[in-house]
Amino acid sequence: MAIKLSANYSKKLGLPEYSSHSFSASVEVELTDITQVEAECQKLYGLLQHSVDQEIQQVGFVPSPGYGSNGSRNGNGHAASHYHPNGNGRTYPVTRSNGNHQPPAVGDRWNCTDGQKGFIQRIVNENNLDKGEVDDLANQLFGTGVKQLNKMQASQLIDDLLVKAGKPATRQTRWQQRPASTTTQPA
C-alpha cells in the first residue's frame, strides 16, 4: 500500500508602501513504509524552506511612494491627477473652493491616519512637548520623521508620548481589557 505525503511551505513578506510578496512551494511523494513518514517530513520541510527562502529574496517590483496617484495612471489606465493618497493605500478627491482639484501641500501630508495626526498634535500641545524632540524620538525609533510614520509606527509613537507625558498608554492587550472572571462552583 502506497502512502501519499504532501508538504507545503509558504512565506509572505511585507514591503514598503503597503505592498507585500509571497511565495509557496509544494511537493507530494509516495512512501511504501509508514515508518519513513517522520524522516521524509523533516527532509521535505528543509528542502521546501530552503527553496522558498532562496526565491523570495528576489523582490521584483515595489511601488514607489505615490504610485497610482498624483498624475500617474490608476489601475484602470485613467489619469488620477485629481486624487490624493490618504496614507493608507486609498485616494480621495481634493476640491478647492474654486472647484479645481488640487492635492494638499506636500509639507502638510502625514502618512498616518488623520486621527493619529490629531492625537499626536494634541499630546504635544497639551503637554508642552517640544516638536523637535518628538521628531527626534520618531527618528530614533523608526529612522524617519513624525510626518512619514505609517499607522503602526504612529501608534507606537503615541504610546511612547503618552508615557513621556505621564499618562496611560492607549493600547491594551486583550488580557488587560477584560476583568478577571470569577467562576463560582455550585454548592
Residue 100: pLDDT above 80? Answer: no
Mean pLDDT for 54-82 is 61
How much of the chain exceeds pLDDT 70, in percent?
Answer: 66
Angle between helices 151-164 and 131-142 (to 10 degrees): 130
Length of the chain: 187
Name the more confident of 99 and 171. Answer: 171
Assign 79 a pLDDT band (cuts: 50, 70, 90): very low
Helix (H, G, I), strand (E, B) or coil at 102: coil
> Residue 102 pLDDT more than 70?
no
- What is the DSSP-derived secondary structure letter of residue 141? H
Note every long-range contact of 27-30, with CB atoms under 8 Å and residues 24 or more positions apart, other chains counting: 28/4, 29/4, 29/5, 30/2, 30/3, 30/4, 30/5
Does the pTM surpass 0.75? The reply is no
The whole-number average pLDDT for the span 159-178 is 67
Which stretches does DSSP call E strand in the chain?
A: 3-15, 19-31, 83-85, 91-93
Looking at residue 42, what is its pLDDT?
93
Q: What CA–CA distance (Å, rounded) separates 36 from 40?
A: 6
Q: What nine digits make up the cell of 20?
A: 507585500
What are the structural domain ranges in the chain? Answer: 3-55, 70-105, 110-170
DSSP 12: E
Burial environment of residue 113 by CB neighbours within 10 A (0 to 12, 13 to 18, 19 or more): middle
Whether the predicted pLDDT of 76 surpasses 70: no
Torsion of CA 114, 117, 122, 123, to 10 degrees: 140
Q: CA neighbours within 13 Å on the CB side: how many for 3?
A: 11
Burial class (CB in 10 A: 0-12, 13-18, 19+), 81: middle
Of the candidates 14, 111, 18, the one whose C-alpha atom is nearest the C-alpha of residue 63 is 18
SS3 (DSSP) at 163: helix
Higher pLDDT, 47 or 176: 47
